[in-house]
Amino acid sequence: KMAAGRARAVNLVHQPWHIPRLPIALCGLAAVRSLSSERIIVPRSKIDASFSRSSGPGGQNVNKVNTKVELRFNVAEADWLPQEVRARLADEQKARMTKSGELIVTSSETRTQKGNMDLAMEKLQRMVDDASVPPKERNLWEGLSEKTKKRRVDDKRRKSVVKQNRKRVDF
């Protein structure tokens, strides 16, 4: 018997349909973003969703229920996204874009429309989060003194020699 008020621990190891998911904030580049910047939330009202028959799990249910979700929206006309985020999103997700500029996100991993809709919205939110992170500026080797440049080149040469000595020697 369980003590009153104590929650029962559920072992989900042997349940193949359980897919552990991290919170969106812990996935991708969004975790790197500073806490001061505002997160862009994808509005469901601006996304076109369509459902079709899925090839995923579901047994005979697959043949009669439309559970696959396909989300579409035109990136160039997305007024809820800042212009630079739209440009980065279009550039990062070229493979998911149509010629007319629509971004397509699909999900057919679960047996229900709601589950697939939630997963597809999570994917889209992750894409927007990743695109909203501005790219890091490169630090070039400019403005260094000649002595520093020479030391850097010498270090590179020394490392190269060490790595060359690790190679197998033919006798």
Beta bridge partners of 72: 48, 104
32 has pLDDT over 50: no
Consecutive H or E run containing 152: helix 146-166
Q: What is the pLDDT of residue 163?
A: 93
Q: What is the pLDDT of residue 150?
A: 92
Whose CA is closest to 47, among 88, 102, 111? 102
What is the tens place of the pLDDT at every residue in 47-57? 999 999 887 66
What is the tens place of the pLDDT at every residue in 119-164? 999 999 999 999 999 988 887 767 778 898 899 999 999 999 999 9
Distances (CA, A) of 126 to 57, 62, 72, 107, 132: 24, 28, 15, 14, 10
Q: Which segments of 21-81 are extended strands (E)? A: 48-52, 68-74
What is the tens place of the pLDDT at every residue in 67-126? 899 999 999 999 999 999 999 999 999 999 999 999 999 998 888 899 999 999 999 999
Q: Which two tokens stand for residue 125?
A: 């939110």
